[in-house]
Each structure stands twice: as structure tokens, then as C-alpha cells.
Structure 1
Amino acid sequence: MFTIRLRTKITILVIAIVTISIYSTTLLTTKRLVDNFSNEMNINLMNIAKVIASSPNVVEGMKTGTYRKNPIQAYVMKILNETENVEIIVVADMNGYRYAHPNPERLGERFVGGDEQRVIEYGDSYISEATGTLGKAIRAFVPVYDQETGEQLGFVMTGALSHTIGVIKRQRVLNSILVSFIGLFIGIIGAILLANNIKKILLGLEPEEISKLYVEKQSILDTIHEGIIAIDENENITLINSSASKLLGLDEDKIIGKRVTDVLLSTRLPDILKTGEGEYDREQVLNGTVIITNRVPIKDGDKILGAIATFRDKTMVTRLAEEVTGVKQIVDALRANTHEFMNKLHVILGLIEMGELHEAKNYIISVSENQQQIVSLLMKRIKEPAIVGLLLGKFSKAKEHGVTLIISEDSTLEKRYDNINNNSLVTIIGNLIENAIESVSVSSSREKKVYIKIKEEHSRIIIAVKDTGPGIKEEFIPLIFKREFTTKGTHRGVGLSLVRQSVENLGGIIEVSSIINLETTFKIMLPKGGVVR
């Protein structure tokens, strides 16, 4: 589909408006000019005729009764030569015989045209149009009176040829049109400059692109978990997204346009406007919430237009970091190990207090052997201390929940494994075992067991975790790795999401199989070189 660009639209629209405005004005102005010229011509002809009719030279000349050697002709010719836009001056007596005429040969002849009757019969002064000896003309008639007796002696006719008047009118119309063309040309140049300026202000974007960017911006702001606040050069809030509103307990609609220091007392955004330098990963307290924030100026060249801050709740950042790096898994495992150790110490202490020293000794030997077997197996097969510590902790936690944790004797894991980092393994193994223990602990199965196998091969690492829990319904299997999907209540559904993320980042594969009320198996294959073989 053909679309007209914004610059073209603006140019065409402005040119159309300028054209319509100029030519509407030109039409009205031209008509006014023509009408005014006609009125001016009529007034001019009438005024000159009156001046001549009242001249003593004309009155005295008319009294002589003859045109011969009459001073009227010389007087009239002088006026005719000195007057602009008047081509005809005729002086005639009451019988219509000429005493003055532009053509001296016409003197003594009768007046021609037939429009002189009113001035002769009634003594009227008027304007008419008729054809005389010189051609068609606009003519003004004024009677000549003897000032002493009041007797009408004749009349004066001043005129301008219709052809000449038409030429003058056309010239004025052409001048008006020429001016309008000049105005149109200036308007076109102005339209182009305006269109280019608007295009520059809009960064060369079309309206459809601006609309799309606005919708995308709103969608991005709504999906970003970080809070975002922006201010202009006057420290007024211009933008705040929903995450910032929720985190700081603010109403987005009510704070837009307000001064940022009136809303957030401890904000440092105004300082960014002054220094023009960004601040990164700073800890700050805003409205009672501890946040980690980045603040940067918004610049156009060297000019600072505003500032923007992005931030997250420090508690959430810390929690996410622990989840991603696997620290939380190790800490939980060590906590469980410590808890189990304290329980065993309490048993030993109780036996000693009861005087059952032999039982206490046997218990210590039993626990020691048990623990030694587990530690020995793990240390022998698993070379990475962090993974060993994690598994030991999970053994303790499993016991707390009445679950038996079994690690395959053919498990192997070296300390170096190419592109696979230690944190990813802790995240994957820790979350899979945690999920399995929790699933088995709430099941009604008599055998509450979790089986673990970690096998390092030449090109990949295989991690398998199987439990005897209630299983996963088939329709839920495609959903279990989605963040916050859970059937266990709110604030859950993070562990398997982190597992999937870690596996995908390493180019691995996850396989899930489940039999309801019998077992569930998660199998992870991680390539050492980036591709599973």
C-alpha cells in the first residue's frame, strides 16, 4: 500500500492552504482594485470637468459665441497634456457645437455620442459611456454657467477611452497576480522549510513509526521489573512506570508533572542535572525502601534535557542473585547439615545424661560410619567441593523430611568441565533435588526416595534426578519451567525456571518423564563444547 511521507503531507497541506488563501485574497483584492479604479476614474473625470466648467477662460470664451480664435482650445489642450488618464476634453455650446476638442479639426462640428441630452436639457452632471469620434469612452458631463446671469452657456465633457481603461485594469490585475505568485513561491519555500524542521524535530520518524514506538515504549515500561523515573530540566516528573509505582507506593497518574523532590524527599536526580554525570549501582533509601539504583542524565549533545533513574528493591536483587549463582542452594544445604548435626549432638547429650554411655558410643560410631560412607563416596566420585557440600546438605535436609537420598555409585564429576560453570551446576542440581525432596515429602508413597546420578562423559555431563513422589500431570509438563507457574501456592515456581534458564544458556537439553503416583524423572544433558552429542 502506497503511503505519503509526513514531510510530503505537510508540504502539500501548507501549499494548498497558502494557495487557497493567496488566491482567495487575490480574487477579492483584484475585484476591489478594479472597482476602485473605476470609481477613481469617474471621480477624476468629473472633478476635471467641474474645474474646466468653472474656469473663467471657458466661461468668457463661451460668451463670445464662436469657436474661432477662442482661448478655450489652448486652455483645454494644456490641461489635457498635463492630466493623467484623461484622453478627451470637449467644450460645446447649447447646440452641441464644439469650442474645444483633442483634434482641432473637429472644432465647430456638432458633438457626437447622443449622451449629451441630459446636460443640455436639464443641466445635470453625470457619467455615461458612449461612442464618439475617438471611439468608445467613459465620459463625464458638467454644465457651464454664466456666473453673473446664471444662464447655461454649454457643457464640458471629459473622457477616457474604454480601451485605455481596459488596458490599465488588466495591468493592475496582472500586477496583483504577479504579487500573488511571489507570495505563493514564498509560501512553498516556507512549507518545505517547515516540513523539514518538523521532520528534524521528530528525528526523521513518520507518524506511524512514532505511534508504534509509543506503544512499544509503553509495553516495554510495563514489562520491565526495574522501576523507572524520569524528570525534565525543571526537575518535574515526566515518566514513571508501574514497577516504580508499586515499589515506592505511588500513584502514577497523580505524580506526573510534580516536582520530584516533593514526591521523593531523598532523591538524587536533581544532582544529576547539575553534574551531568551518571551514578551506577548506588544503594539508597527511597520512601522507606532500600533500593539499588542507576542514575544518568538525558542529553542532546552537551545540553542536559533531564535525568532518568532505574532501580530495584535490594532485597529482590539479593534474592535473585542468590538464586542465579546457587549461593542460596549451598547456604540452605549447609543450614540443613548444621541442623542435623545439632540434632545428633542433642541425642548424644541425652544418652550421656541418662548414663547410657555404651549406647552413646554405639550411636556415635554408627553416625560416624554412616557419614563417613557418604562423605567418602562423594569425595571419591565428585571432585568439586561446592557440589559435595551441596549434596551433603541435601542429604541432611532429606532426612529431616523423612526422605532417603540415594546417589548412584557410578556418579563422576571432575573439577574442570570446559564451558560449564560451577554456579550453573549448583543451580541445576540444587533446584532439582529440592523439588524432588519437597514432592516426595508430601506424597502418600511408602517409599520416599530420591535418586541422583551425576555422570561426566567425554563430551557432556548428565544429571538425572528421580523421585517416588505423586508425579506430574501430562498437561502440566510443558508449563512447569515457566516462571511463577506452580501448584504449591503463591511465591513459588522459581526453581525450575532457573534450571531451564541455566540449561538453555549452556546449550543443554532437559527431558522430563512422569508416571502419576509412581515416579518423576528429570534428565539434564549439558554439552562441554556447547552442543549436545
Structure 2
Amino acid sequence: MRKKQFKLQTQITIFTIIIAIISIYTTTYFTARWIISSMQQEINMNIMNIAKVIANSPNVVEGMKSGDYYQNPIQPFVQKILEDTNQVEIIVVADMEGFRYAHPNPQRLGEKFVGGDELRVVKTGENYISEATGTMGTAVRAFASIYDEENQQQLGFVMVGTLTQTIAEIKKQRIITAILTSLVGLFFGIIGAIFLANKIKNKLFGLEPDEIAKLYVEKQGMLEAIHEGVIAIDTDEKITLINDSARKLLHISEKDIIGEKITKLLPNTRLPQVLKTGVAEYDREQLLKETVIISNRVPIKSGEKIVGAIATFRDKTMITRLAEEVTGVKQIVQALRANSHEFMNKLHVILGLIEIEEFEEVKRYIIDTNKNQQQIMTLVIGKIKDTTIAGLLLGKISRAKELGIVMDISKESYLEKQKGKITSSVLVTILGNLIENSMEAISLNEKEEKVIKVSLIESKEEITITVKDTGIGIPEKNISCIFERGFSTKALSSGIGLSLIKNTVENLGGDIKVTTELYEGTTFMITLPKEGKI
């Protein structure tokens, strides 16, 4: 069972939120620690400063000198400070024996100081911060000594304190404030994560990572599969894509040309014009690096915006050659050329005989030639009603004579003009390529017997084509490869002929049988159903 995966937008949102939570949590944690630490320092500094101010106040010094715990100016002075000061809840003034001259609770005046942490200030006169429990509870307390500057004598001490409970409440409030601030930050972080995920999704046209990877693999496969050269550029006229076919057609040896200016590689390219105008150009002939190409150039658009341009192109020579093979034009042209050549040869013979005044020989030659030609014409045209195929066969007969090959058309051959879905161009492709291959095979054989036997028989259901030669035959190792596109044992051959035959026969739902014997010859028998698919 395939594990369910979240969509890219969801993954980005979750991932961004997790990062935001971790970042905000970490920030809040250290911020809270800093707040607590700085707040503690602030309270300590505040109560110490207040303690020092009170200890140095003339009212306190004079009150301590009076020796009266109840009737002195210290208690009103301290009470006023308590009312006007924040974060201070306890102020106690006591003499060296620890008896109180001031206290938040007036009823405790004259009583002994409680806590035990006052001994240090009594003994040493030192100012310090401590934490202890007194009559009002546990508190953080600042001690400052009271001195009589005239007599250079310590009269007592001042303790200013803040209850730990109050400090805890202040800490709690500040931490809550920090958390609430963090939550606000997290909220905006989530909004930002959703916005970012949507932005990325739109940039990727809503595609998921596996879809992007699949498209990339498919793109690479298509680029390598097509024979056309492909080059694409961006808005800066820099190359963003080029396939191997383009490199071969343009003879580009440099490997790393992605990012190069297209005009640097191909100075006379028209891709920049297409990029500027946004107008596509189709089937344009152009010379690029000494190669004539047929090119299609189109702008690449994202919505209405032009984001680049792409060109596909092929070698014009290869296109022309392929068109000739596919349409059968090549076979017809060769047949006409052979007929013309044979006709010229006969004229030359007649002209030579006339010049030497062998008029009877001229007469005999013309009669014999006409008789032979009439026999051939009667056989071919009488049996083959399709004039295109008849012309092809006559041309191939003439071509065979030039090569010293006897081309024998079977007397059983018969072909109507209407052949169902089997067109004349299909038969031209099959017959022309088979006969041409037989001629080439015979020319490689040293046997004296040079014969090609052709049979073209039509029935109600099908057409059977048989071409048998006395050529060199096909090696056993090559039999399985002869119908593959591009395969050929001849140096200058394109290896298209038999591949075209195979594709044509398969498209028509037909069948091919090949029998061969090395140095003895080869027979191709092709059966085409009249109602086959096309």
C-alpha cells in the first residue's frame, strides 16, 4: 500500500510553521530568561537605591539620634516613600541593637528586627542584597547603613524590601506578555507560511514534486528521442536548453553552453527577433554554420508575458531525402531517368547506323526494338492497370538493362486501378525499394546469372508482392536487423528503405516473409489486405 504523501503546499506550510514555532519558542525562552534576570537586577537596584537615599536622609539621621522609637520624624518620612514608590513593600529603619524606628506596620515600632540577615550590616556597615523571611513574609531585601557624619559613627541600618510573592507576580505578568507577543508573532508566521506556500504553488503551476520530477525525466527523454534540433532561450537571449541533435546538426563541440548568448553561438539566428516581436515563424529555410536547415521558431509565453523563445529545426537535405523515400518520388524519378537514358542510347545507335549508311540495319534495329518494347508494354500495361506502377516497372526494367540485369515480370501479375485502401504511393514505396535493393544485391554477386523476378498479384481480398533476386543474399546475423531504421551494410545508405516498407506493411495490417541463401539470392513476399488499417 502506497504511503500517503502531503501536497507540496501543505508540506511547505507545515514546515514553515514548525520553523516559526521553534524560532519563536527559542526566542521567547531566552527573552523570558533575560526579562527575569533584568527584572531581578532592576528590583535589586531600585530597593538598594531607595535604601541608600533613606539612610542618607537628615530626617532619618536626626531621628536615630533622638533615641525615641515612637516620636521621631522617621516613620512619617518612610510611610510617604512607601506610598510614592512602586515595587517596594517593606521599609524598616532600626538601630544597632535591631530595634525598629520605622515599619510598614506602626504597631511593630520599638520591636526587634526579624530575619537574621541584618547581622552583616550591623557588624561591617556593608551595603548588600539578601533574601529572608520577616514579619511580612519572605522578601528580597536591600540593607544600607546609617552613619552620623559628624561623629563618624554608625547609628543603625535601613532595610528596603519587596516580597518574593510580588516579584513572582511581576515575573508572571511579564512572561505572559512575552508569550502573548510570541503568539501574535506565531499568528503572523502562520499567515506568512500560507502566503509563501501559495506563492510557491503558483510559481510551480500547482505541480507536486513527483510530478515535476516526472516532467523533467519526460522532457529529457523527449529531447533525446526526437531527431529535430531544439534550442531555447530566455528573455536575456541566453541559451536555456539544447539537445544532442542540435549539437550534431550545428557541429557544436562545446559542452557547457547553457547560459551563453545565442548570438555568440549562432550570429545569424532569428530567435531574438521572435523574442522581441512575439510572432512565430514556421518552416523557414536558413543557413546556420554551413548547414541549410528548415526551422520553426515560436515565442514561449506565460499567460500574456513572453518569457523566452524556442526553435526546432532539421537538415533540409535529410528532410528532402526522407520525403522522397516516403512518397515514392525517388523511385519514380529513377524510373523516368532510366527510361530517358535507354531512349537516348537507342537514338545514339540509330544515329550511328545512319551515319555509316547502314539503312537496312537501321530498319531492322528499329523493328526489333519496337517489337521488344511492344512485348514489354503489352505485358506491363495490359496486366498493370495502375499507370503509376506500370511506369515504375517500365523504368526499373530499363534501369536493369543498363546494369546487365534481366528483370522478369511474372505473367500471372495483375493489378487493378482501384485497390481499396492500398494507394499507388504505398506500392511505389514497397516495389521501388525492393527492386532497388535487389539490383544492389546482384551487383555485389559474381554470379553470371543476374535476374530479378517480380510478381504483383491482386485478388478480391489482398495484393501479394514478390521480388526474387539472384543477389549476394543476407548474412544470418543481419536478418533480424534489416528492418531497423538506419541499419545498412552500405556506406552511403540512409538505411530507411526497408524500415519504410515494414512500417507501411504493418500500418496496412499486412505481412512480410523473407527467405534468403548466402550468395544464392533473396526473396521478399509481402501480403497486403485491401481493407487493412491505414
Check whether TM > 0.5. Answer: yes
Aligned match of 2:479: 477
Deviation at 1:27, TM superposition (A): 2.2
Partner SS, residue 296 of structure 1: strand
Aligned match of 1:406: 408
Deviation at 1:464, TM superposition (A): 1.4
Deviation at 1:8, TM superposition (A): 4.4
Aligned match of 2:53: 51
Aligned match of 2:330: 328
Q: Is the 8 A contact 1:90 1:100 kept in 2?
A: yes
1:178 to 180, 183, 205: 180
Q: Is the 8 A contact 1:119 1:142 kept in 2?
A: yes
Aligned match of 1:2: 3
Post-superposition Cα deviations, 1:96-118, rounded to whole Å, max 9, x if no partner, equal 11111111111111111111112
1:2 corresponds to which letter in structure 2?
Answer: K
CA distance in 1, matches of 2:395, 2:47: 121
Post-superposition Cα deviations, 1:243-275, rounded to whole Å, max 9, x if no partner, equal 222222223535432222233222221221222
2:37 corresponds to which letter in structure 1?
Answer: D
Aligned match of 1:366: 368
Aligned match of 2:379: 377
2:282 corresponds to which letter in structure 1?
Answer: Y
CA distance in 2, matches of 1:200, 1:430: 56
1:132 aligns with 2:151: no
Alignment of 1:31-430 (within 5 A): 31-430=33-432
CA distance in 1, matches of 2:287, 2:218: 31
Post-superposition Cα deviations, 1:425-467, rounded to whole Å, max 9, x if no partner, equal 1111100111112212322333221111112222322211111
* TM-score normalised according to structure 1 size: 0.94
1:524 to 500, 523, 526: 526
Which moved further from structure 2: 446-455 or 130-139? 446-455
Which moved further from structure 2: 94-103 or 510-519? 510-519
CA distance in 2, matches of 1:101, 1:21: 48
CA distance in 2, matches of 1:251, 1:222: 17
Which moved further from structure 2: 125-134 or 357-366? 357-366
Q: Is the 8 A contact 1:241 1:252 kept in 2?
A: no
Q: Is the 8 A contact 1:237 1:257 kept in 2?
A: yes
CA distance in 2, matches of 1:464, 1:252: 50
CA distance in 1, matches of 2:461, 2:493: 37
Deviation at 1:174, TM superposition (A): 3.0
Which moved further from structure 2: 396-405 or 66-75? 66-75
Aligned match of 2:489: 487
Aligned match of 2:498: 496
CA distance in 1, matches of 2:110, 2:495: 124
How many residues are aligned here? 532
Partner SS, residue 253 of structure 1: coil
1:445 corresponds to which letter in structure 2?
Answer: K
CA distance in 2, matches of 1:79, 1:393: 128
CA distance in 2, matches of 1:347, 1:91: 150
Partner SS, residue 255 of structure 2: helix
Post-superposition Cα deviations, 1:468-490, rounded to whole Å, max 9, x if no partner, equal 22322344222111112122334
Q: Check 1:422–1:120 CA distance in 2 against 1; reply closer, same or farther (3 A cut).
A: same
Post-superposition Cα deviations, 1:388-426, rounded to whole Å, max 9, x if no partner, equal 111111001111121111112222222222322222111
Which moved further from structure 2: 44-53 or 191-200? 191-200
Deviation at 1:330, TM superposition (A): 0.5
* TM-score normalised according to structure 2 size: 0.94
After the TM superposition, list the runs of 4 or more consecutive aligned residues in structure 1 that deviate by more than 6 angstroms: none
Post-superposition Cα deviations, 1:61-86, rounded to whole Å, max 9, x if no partner, equal 22221122322212211111111111
Partner SS, residue 92 of structure 1: strand
Q: Is the 8 A contact 2:507 2:533 kept in 1?
A: no
| Unmatched tracts of structure 2, length 5 or more | none
The percentage of counterpart residues that share the same residue type is 60
CA distance in 2, matches of 1:284, 1:223: 24
Aligned match of 2:31: 29
Partner SS, residue 280 of structure 1: strand
Deviation at 1:179, TM superposition (A): 2.8
Deviation at 1:492, TM superposition (A): 4.0
2:3 corresponds to which letter in structure 1?
Answer: F
Aligned match of 1:466: 468
Post-superposition Cα deviations, 1:303-359, rounded to whole Å, max 9, x if no partner, equal 000111111121111111111110000001111111122222222222223332222
Which moved further from structure 2: 42-51 or 501-510? 501-510
| Unmatched tracts of structure 1, length 5 or more | none
CA distance in 2, matches of 1:379, 1:322: 25
Deviation at 1:194, TM superposition (A): 2.4
Q: Is the 8 A contact 1:67 1:99 kept in 2?
A: yes
CA distance in 1, matches of 2:254, 2:183: 53
